[in-house]
Amino acid sequence: MVALAYVVVAVGTLTGMMSALDDRRGGGTEAAKPEVTGSPTPDRVSATPTVTKSPSPVRSSPRTSSPAPTRTKESPRPPVVSARLYRAPDSHVLDWVRAHPGDPRTPLIESRIADEPAAVWFADPTSATIASRVRAVTSGAAAQDRVPVLVAYAIPDRDCGGASQGGAPDLAAYDAWIDSFATGLGRGEVVVVLEPDSIAQSDCLSGSERTARFASLARAGRVLKNADPKARVYYDAGHSGWNPADKQADLLRQAGAASPDSSDGIFSNVSNFRNTADEIAYDRTVLADLGGPAGLGAVIDTSRNGNGPPPDGQWCDPAGRGIGRAPTLSTGEARIDAYLWVKLPGESDGCKGAPGTFSPSYAYDLASS
């Protein structure tokens, strides 16, 4: 479940920082823990819906831990965007930091969370304004020669009626929303995380409803990539503790994730806390099962997985989690295109505050662990 947090209203919440931060902060150590998603709130620069809700304890396929073929022998493909990610000027955490310069927690929250690039969520299904809201983020990123990460989160029956329920009223409205979203992309480099939970959590739909949703998702990928040839679109693979890799690959294939016309690969661990090593192994297995061009890759949400998942399987603002690997587009791992902060650390899944709201105490705990 994605608990929508600080969603984009006027400007996206992508905090752009050079991937050099990865090296500066020990770009190999996991410090980000469970990702938290909050229920949808009005789009604004840094709200990240909670996509944390995924079936409990691991049901991954046995092959989840076996690495897939490395990318060294894969067919040529444009390099994974540039070395810099965009940090938007507004977000819940930035708002809090600016408003509390004297709080003893501010320096740590600012340096470990606010200064990092994070994805910008678009969860308001209003077609009339989505193009301008997306454009505000992409144009801001282009002006700094940086790469924004955008999360499209408006699929009908979103989150199966959970904390982040909502979305467009029907698929026709969603298709129109995607068309408008695409016009705001511009022609620069951009990463699009397409509809967290929409595929892994599709079992609440009837067979015909699932087929219709997947057709709409496949269309969405084509529209986005046609609008901006430099856009990289990734599809929902859940995470290593959810569906078995072969099942997830089959669902992804039905949604168009194996087609280069609509997809650049998959994303996993959004708003969750799975270990990066487990996600790498799982994603490689999913990609191997998925088929399609050898160049398809994966991006992993490392915002809160530094300490791995809680032993009790809790997904809502669990204690003891921590910040994960710094966002970067250079992972050094075959078939892993990026580590991203899709869920912004400190934004509640719904237990430490309303879903998607910023909790300084939660943020401080994550940054301190």
- Listed in sequence order, the DSSP H helices in 100-206 are 106-109, 127-143, 171-183
**Catalytic choice (317, 337, 349, 365):** 349
DSSP state of 285: H
232 pairs with which residues across the strands?
A: 191
The span from the CA of 178 to the CA of 255, in Å, is 15
Active-site annotation holds for 197 = yes
Place of tokens 């015909």: 208
DSSP 21-62: HHHHTTTTS--B-----B---S--TT--BEE----SS----G
Q: For residue 322, what is the DSSP state? A: B
- Asked if 323 and 132 touch (Cβ cutoff 8 Å), the reply is no
- Return the amino acid letter for 190: V
DSSP helix, strand, coil percent of the chain (3-state; round to 5) = 30, 15, 55
Those residues with Cβ within 8 angstroms of residue 277's Cβ, 6 or more apart along the chain or in another chain: none
Of the residues 43, 197, 264, 317, only one is catalytic, namely 197
Torsion of CA 130, 131, 133, 136, to 10 degrees: 170
> Could you confirm whether 179 is annotated as catalytic?
no
Report CA-CA distances (Å) from 239 to 33, 242, 245: 14, 6, 9
Q: Where are the beta strands (DSSP E) in 133-230?
A: 149-152, 190-194
Annotated active-site residue 317? The verdict is no
Catalytic residue among 159, 264, 289, 301: 159
Q: Which residues pair with 233 in a beta bridge?
A: 192
C-alpha 358, offset from chain centre: 18
Which residues are part of the catalytic machinery? 159, 197, 349
